[in-house]
Amino acid sequence: MSAGLEVVRAGALTTVQDEGRTGWAHLGVPRAGALDGPARRLVNRLAGNTPDAAVLETTLTGCAVRVTGDRPVLAVVGGAGCRVTVDGRPVAWGAPVRVPPGAVLEAGPAVHGLRGYLAFAGGLVPEPVLGSRSADLLSGLGPPVLREGDALPLGPGHGAPAVDAVPWPGVPAELVLPLHPGPRDGWFTEAALCTLTTAVYRVSERSNRIGLRTEGPALERARDGELPSEGMVLGAVQVPPEGLPLVFLNDHPTTGGYPVVGVVPEAALAGAAQAVPGTPVRFVRA
């Protein structure tokens, strides 16, 4: 009894993601992994998987996959809210759905939020690279971005899930990001630091898995010059020369040369994963 997936509609950007690859940043390897960690864990839990199983992460437009093989597959669509169908018939969002062999599971375009997560019992099992099955779009490690016709293997299922419903957090109308100042807040003027934590920024449409870019008032530097390359953490708020804060997400480079004015704790980044362009962003002192 085997099962797999065939990609019928790849969507705008759909990738395989798990917890990501840690422990390799010193070699220049980004962490990668699902941008909305809590959503990834929830869909896995509902599919009867361990939290670290690999899932699909969609972007705005969802995706559709056909179940191949000779057994039905339990699937869960969560994260961004969307219409879910099996062979065109509406089924539950955010809850386990049985997909028969040959049937097409479709996650429609997001109606709220941005990134959808599709878990399948047994998890996606493409070949791991450095301990992770995550696609890393900065350095190209891991499985490639999904394309129509791709085949994806599934692991053996573990039996029935322990839960069939979980509370899903809503997507807030405003993204509030707690900010720990440093390490390079000293590179900015007092006025800039005040602006950063009082002004309203908006999510830029140039945002991606590398970083959440913002639009709003530029931050003025207190000193000129270049910062020698230094290690960057997930959630670092880097300020490039044009002065607009950029929040590093999972595919961020491991070292960088623009000053980091502050850091958003990892736990607050799930909201950044779901914020569509135009969403107001406020940085508040943690």
In the DSSP assignment, the letter for residue 156 is: P
As measured in angstroms, the least distance from the Cβ of 112 to another protein is 29
In the DSSP assignment, the letter for residue 17 is: E
Give the C-alpha separation, 126 to 142, whole Å.
Answer: 9
**Which residues, 6+ apart, have CB-to-CB distance to 167 below 8 Å?**
none
In the DSSP assignment, the letter for residue 85 is: E
Q: Which stretch binds another protein (CB under 8 A): 17-25, 48-56, 58-66, 149-157?
A: 17-25
Nearest residue (CB) to another protein, 35 versus 177 = 177
As measured in angstroms, the least distance from the Cβ of 180 to another protein is 5
Chain position carrying tokens 């509406």: 90
3-state DSSP assignment of residue 82: strand
> How many positions of this chain bind another protein (CB under 8 A)?
36
Q: Out of 2, 23, 87, 197, which residue is the one contacting another protein (CB under 8 A)? A: 23
Give the C-alpha separation, 189 to 274, whole Å.
Answer: 31
**Residue 240 binding another protein, by CB under 8 A:** no
Whole-number CA gyration radius for the chain: 20
Q: Out of 51, 172, 231, 278, which residue is the one contacting another protein (CB under 8 A)? A: 231
Residues linked to residue 69 through DSSP beta bridges, in sequence order: 3
As measured in angstroms, the least distance from the Cβ of 28 to another protein is 4
Nearest residue (CB) to another protein, 1 versus 27 = 27
Per-residue contact track with another protein, 181 to 220, x per CB under 8 A? xxxx------------------------------------
Nearest residue (CB) to another protein, 101 versus 182 = 182
Give the C-alpha separation, 74 to 160, whole Å.
Answer: 9
Give the C-alpha separation, 209 to 171, whole Å.
Answer: 18
Q: Is 183 left (phi over 0), alpha (psi -120 to 50) or beta?
A: alpha
Q: Out of 119, 154, 236, 269, which residue is the one contacting another protein (CB under 8 A)? A: 236
- Single out the residue of 13, 11, 17, 39 nearest to residue 30, CA to CA: 17
Q: Out of 263, 269, 273, 275, which residue is the one contacting another protein (CB under 8 A)? A: 263
Q: Out of 121, 264, 270, 273, which residue is the one contacting another protein (CB under 8 A)? A: 264
Per-residue contact track with another protein, 65 to 104, x per CB under 8 A? ----------------------------------------
Tokens of 11: 């969507």
Contact set with another protein (CB under 8 A): 22-29, 129-130, 139, 141, 180-184, 228-233, 235-236, 253-256, 260, 262-266, 286
